Structure 1
């Protein structure tokens, strides 16, 4: 009597799962990444331009978490876990067959792992993953996460990118995502039968490479913008826009979406104290430099 092992759920539905995985990598994940990077690149036009785009996103109010989880995070998690399963069950043969396509497949796996780690930390570092108060107050914020404040978009992003580690982490991570998307776009076309012949695949390779180059330039622009913005000047613009938004009803009053005012007041107090000390020192120097009037004989 023969005993056959029942195939797993993934193997039984592998055809459909792979196609869903491929489709989600392009829409909505790839499309969202392009929009997200373009939004961040608007920093180069100034903190006001960036803040306007962020305000438009957060004008969804309570519906925003539903949109994020329904159209971004859940598809992303599905794509990530299925991608890890595909990468772990697949075999790389670049040692035996050093073809360009084989190398690209290997880089696709490597950048997939990097992208998974990067996106997990990126969302936690800037957004905290969940928007409800107790999670932010007692878990994310004490760990130094959830650094991004939507109503102080540019200034909070600039503070989050302080140091050496985070800028390097973001540069490696975002470029890995760009490669993974561009090469995945090419493989998705093969999966869905859009380019089958060698000639069509060659043309598609050039097209996807061009898309990857363009998105890479946008991502580096966003990265440079985050590193070069002046947080103090940005905070002035953001606060002005926030007050105007409250009056017009364009923004919602949510303390979790703003940087702590006491931190700003402390910085301003320190600045005022430094300015006062400098004025006193200058006055003292002027007094010392005044020539003494000779006494009348």
Structure 2
């Protein structure tokens, strides 16, 4: 028998704890965040204002926002994905020999996990750009990535969905979101098995019904969020931009938003003008001095 590599040996020695941590992170914080994220995006169906207010509340964290993003979303996502790939590589599917529903769900869980990870990586790149420092964004934005501006949330999101031809982004997001919804809903069921919450056949059947209802409801919310992002036309985007300008002025005045031009869409907001492009206008003034009356 070939000798185990050091990494394989580590995973095998700590498999019990790693699998439970992998399962837990898939539910909290990743699953919880996904639900909040989809509900927030679906609020765009109610107009620009509720969606923009929600984005303002998120970005009111200021300098703490990157810490929350990396600590509560990106690092747990990377861990969950890496361990998920390891589970796929070490696990064996017996669907061909035992074509039962549970076995098919196990196979779908693995495939939707891979699709969801690819989707989320491109989703973050497409809208956020992965990293926020200026030299990186200066390269990504001309390529059609990092297209989301928090202070123009509705208009920049809708514009980003129409960035590539042949409806690529809408189709990509629809497939990715549905795969992610299934992965979460079925993952709740498998998490219950991992943590020993339901072990009897009757308990598993009840859990299946609950997770199915949850998955259907979340899929409806996801479809609403997807449609709210892909359906606006040019006139809708222009109207949203006007509303966002009004809300931005009010948010800065009340302290809800920071005066950060890099979070606003458009060259007139996102990029400060250079001195070379400024034209000086000289206005001659004639000053008339009235003589003192003695």
User: Would you call these one fold, judging by a TM-score over 0.5?
Assistant: yes
Structure 2 distance, partners of 1:191, 1:3, is 30
Deviation digits for residues 198-252 of structure 1 (CA, Å, limit 9, x no counterpart): 1100000000011111110000000111122311110010011011111122111
Moved more, 223-232 or 151-160: 223-232
Structure 1 residue aligned with 2:275: none
Please, what TM-score do these two structures have when normalized by structure 2? 0.86
Whether the aligned pair in 1 keeps the contact of 2:147 and 2:160 (CA below 8 Å) is yes
Whether the aligned pair in 2 keeps the contact of 1:92 and 1:106 (CA below 8 Å) is yes
Deviation digits for residues 91-114 of structure 1 (CA, Å, limit 9, x no counterpart): 111111000000000000110110
Where in structure 2 are the equivalents of 1:114-153 lying within 5 Å?
114-137=115-138, 139-153=139-153
Question: Is the alpha carbon distance of 1:244 and 1:13 closer, same or farther for their aligned partners in structure 2, counting shifts above 3 Å?
Answer: same
Whether the aligned pair in 1 keeps the contact of 2:262 and 2:269 (CA below 8 Å) is no
Residue of structure 1 aligned with 2:256, choices 250, 256, 259: 250
Where in structure 2 are the equivalents of 1:213-292 lying within 5 Å?
213-229=216-232, 230-262=236-268
Structure 1 residue aligned with 2:209: 206
How many residues get paired? 262
Residue of structure 2 aligned with 1:181, choices 171, 181, 184: 184
**Gaps (5+ residues) in structure 2?**
271-294
Matched residue SS, 1:8: helix
Structure 2 distance, partners of 1:127, 1:100, is 38
User: Are 2:41 and 1:40 aligned?
Assistant: yes
Structure 2 residue aligned with 1:168: 171
Structure 2 residue aligned with 1:49: 50
Deviation at 1:44, TM superposition (A): 0.6
Deviation digits for residues 240-294 of structure 1 (CA, Å, limit 9, x no counterpart): 1011111122111222211015499xxxxxxxxxxxxxxxxxxxxxxxxxxxxxx
Structure 2 distance, partners of 1:182, 1:3, is 38
Whether the aligned pair in 2 keeps the contact of 1:108 and 1:184 (CA below 8 Å) is yes
Deviation digits for residues 23-72 of structure 1 (CA, Å, limit 9, x no counterpart): 00000000000000000000011011100000000000111000000011
Whether the aligned pair in 2 keeps the contact of 1:41 and 1:222 (CA below 8 Å) is yes
**Gaps (5+ residues) in structure 1?**
265-297
Structure 2 residue aligned with 1:283: none
Structure 2 residue aligned with 1:61: 62
Structure 2 distance, partners of 1:71, 1:146, is 20
Please, what TM-score do these two structures have when normalized by structure 1? 0.85
Structure 2 distance, partners of 1:251, 1:134, is 24
Structure 2 distance, partners of 1:154, 1:181, is 26
Whether the aligned pair in 1 keeps the contact of 2:261 and 2:269 (CA below 8 Å) is no
Q: Moved runs in structure 1, 4+ residues, more than 2 A?
A: 2-7, 261-264
Whether the aligned pair in 2 keeps the contact of 1:124 and 1:146 (CA below 8 Å) is yes
Deviation at 1:4, TM superposition (A): 6.6
Deviation at 1:17, TM superposition (A): 0.3
Structure 2 residue aligned with 1:276: none
